């Protein structure tokens, strides 16, 4: 358990309402200030002559590392500090690894598929994190490393704790126990990062298993077999779970395209708050027709927040629209703005005189109906 300033203060003279309260021998003006310092891991307990042993032990215990961080090239494994992501954030995404055996007949094919595998999601590119092999030729290891894929053998695994997969509920329970001992108890026996090996090519079943293990609480999963769809879905899940909840997930401010838009495409606009983007993007991608989505740089704020904080203004929106080349090719010069931004319509109209600014729906799910009505009009 982490020790807050108040937990520490209770043990100090001022907190116990005893003599020597706020004696300043520690160099701080008050016991409270000293407590705050200690809670941040600063300050020296020796400076306070009145600290009880119990608090000293607690602080000592709190200095222990919860989970070790391992380095594998640029890849970091472990180093987690909380049990639940909403307490702070998860730190290092669960590494997704494929096993390669040079003596296996599928070696060359598997190597090629791993090398070829790369996909883009919200502006970032993703690959297999690492390959586990005890007999890979140096030249192939070099090829993998050239693509940013790390290579390791049994020597590296000695630094980790293996949990043998039995069945999903038992394995998750085992992983929860280990992680709880590491994070809450700070028990050194459990401070090594943990990996699980998964075998077989029943990828649909493996998807159920691995998705739960990414969340609870494997630091690395080694797959015997490789499958593109499995890795795409797991990396997508991992991206969500390992997002820092304290920083709103943002998407890049630019013009996004859906369903190969041509000169007849519809143009929508919203802020770069990831959830706003996803809500609209989901509807636009499900339309039969092509469309563009203009995303404004609004510091990851949702539409109304951004509007009241002046992070979406006519000027900001006009800048994105005017700097886009693709939008200039569209025939019907019309931009559909969120229903919640209806107050911005006039201002936008002035800033973008050659465009028609139309107020759209207040909810993303109403977009398909809205478009249908536009098309039949």
Partner 1 sequence: MKSFNLHSDTLLKPVLGLEFPLEIGDNYSPVLKKYWGNVLDEPCEFFSCVQKNALEIGADFISVYFNLQEPDFAFKNTVLHKYKSIFANILKLCKMPLMIKLSSHVAWDCEIFDSIADDIDRDIIISPIQSANYEKILKRALKSKFNHKFVLRTPIDINLTKELNILSIDEGVNPQQIFIDPDMGCIGYGIDYGYSIIERICLARRSGDKMLDMPIIVYAGEEAYKAKETKSTDFAPSWGDLEQRAKMWEISTASSLVAAGANIVVCWHPDALKALRKQFCEVLCH
Residues that bind partner 1 (CB under 8 A): 84-86, 116-119, 121, 167-170, 172-173, 176, 203-205, 207-209, 211-212, 214-216, 227-234, 236-237, 239-241, 243, 245, 249, 259-260, 274-275, 278-279, 282, 285-286, 288, 368-369
Q: Which is nearer to partner 1, 51 or 95 (CB)?
A: 95
Residue 368 Cβ vs partner 1, minimum distance, rounded to whole Å: 8
Q: How far apart are the C-alpha atoms of 106 and 112, rounded to whole Å?
A: 10
Whole-angstrom CA distances from 270 to 141, 154, 251, 364, 375 are 44, 49, 11, 10, 21
Q: How far is the CB of 113 from partner 1 (least distance, A)?
A: 9
Per-residue HEC secondary structure of 10-64 comes to CCCCCCCCCCCCCCCCCCCCCHHHHHHHHHCCCCCHHHCCCCCHHHHHHHHHHHC
Residues 6+ apart with CB under 8 A from 59: 3, 8, 38, 45
Q: Is the CB of 207 or the CB of 305 nearer to partner 1?
A: 207
Smaller CB separation from partner 1, 119 or 199: 119
Least Cβ distance, residue 126 to partner 1 (angstroms): 9
Please answer whether residues 132 and 99 qualify as being in contact, where contact means their C-beta atoms are separated by less than 8 angstroms.
Answer: yes
Stated as kind and residue range, the H or E segment containing 137 is none
We find the least distance from the C-beta atom of residue 117 to partner 1, in angstroms, to be 5
Q: How far is the CB of 305 from partner 1 (least distance, A)?
A: 15
- In angstroms, the Cα distances linking 265 to 259, 282, 292, 351, 360 are 9, 16, 7, 22, 15
* CA dist list (Å): 207 to 78, 146, 200, 203, 223: 22, 28, 12, 6, 11
Is the CB of 107 or the CB of 203 nearer to partner 1?
A: 203
The residue among 70 and 221 lying less far from partner 1, judged by its C-beta, is: 221
**Of the two residues 72 and 241, which places its CB atom closer to partner 1 in the complex?**
241
Give least dist CB 208 to partner 1, A. Answer: 4
């Amino acid at each position: 358990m982490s020790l807050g300033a108040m937990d520490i203060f209770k043990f100090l003279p001022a907190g116990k309402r005893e003599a020597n309260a706020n004696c300043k021998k520690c160099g701080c003006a008050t016991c409270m200030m000293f407590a705050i310092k200690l809670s941040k891991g600063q300050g020296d307990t020796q400076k306070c002559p009145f600290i009880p042993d119990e608090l000293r032990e607690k602080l000592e215990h709190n200095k222990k590392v919860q989970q070790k961080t391992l380095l594998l090239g640029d890849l970091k494994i472990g180093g987690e500090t909380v049990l639940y992501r909403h307490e702070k954030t998860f730190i290092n995404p669960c590494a997704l690894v494929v096993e390669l055996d040079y003596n296996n007949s599928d070696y060359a094919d598997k190597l090629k598929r791993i090398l070829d595998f790369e996909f883009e999601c919200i502006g970032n590119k993703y690959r297999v994190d690492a390959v586990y092999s005890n007999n890979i030729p140096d030249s192939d290891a070099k090829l993998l490393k050239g693509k940013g894929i790390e290579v390791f053998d049994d020597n590296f695994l000695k630094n980790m704790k293996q949990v043998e997969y039995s069945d999903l509920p038992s394995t998750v329970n085992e992983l929860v126990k280990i992680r709880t001992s590491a994070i809450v108890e700070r028990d050194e026996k459990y401070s090594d990062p943990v990996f699980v090996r998964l075998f077989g090519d029943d990828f649909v079943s493996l998807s159920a298993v691995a998705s739960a293990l990414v969340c609870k609480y494997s630091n690395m999963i080694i797959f015997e077999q490789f499958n593109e769809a499995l890795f795409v879905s797991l990396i997508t899940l991992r991206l969500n779970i390992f997002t820092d909840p304290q920083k709103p997930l943002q998407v890049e401010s630019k013009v996004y395209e859906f369903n190969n838009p041509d000169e007849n495409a519809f143009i929508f606009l919203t802020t770069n708050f990831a959830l706003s983007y996803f809500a609209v993007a989901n509807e636009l991608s499900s339309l039969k027709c092509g469309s563009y989505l203009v995303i404004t740089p609004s510091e990851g704020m949702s539409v109304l927040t951004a509007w009241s904080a002046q992070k979406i203004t006519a000027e900001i929106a006009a800048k994105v629209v005017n700097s886009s080349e693709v939008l200039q090719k569209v025939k019907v010069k019309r931009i559909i703005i969120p229903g919640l931004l209806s107050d911005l319509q006039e201002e936008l109209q002035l800033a973008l005189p050659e465009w028609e600014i139309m107020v759209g729906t207040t909810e993303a799910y109403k977009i398909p109906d809205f478009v249908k009505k536009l098309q039949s009009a």
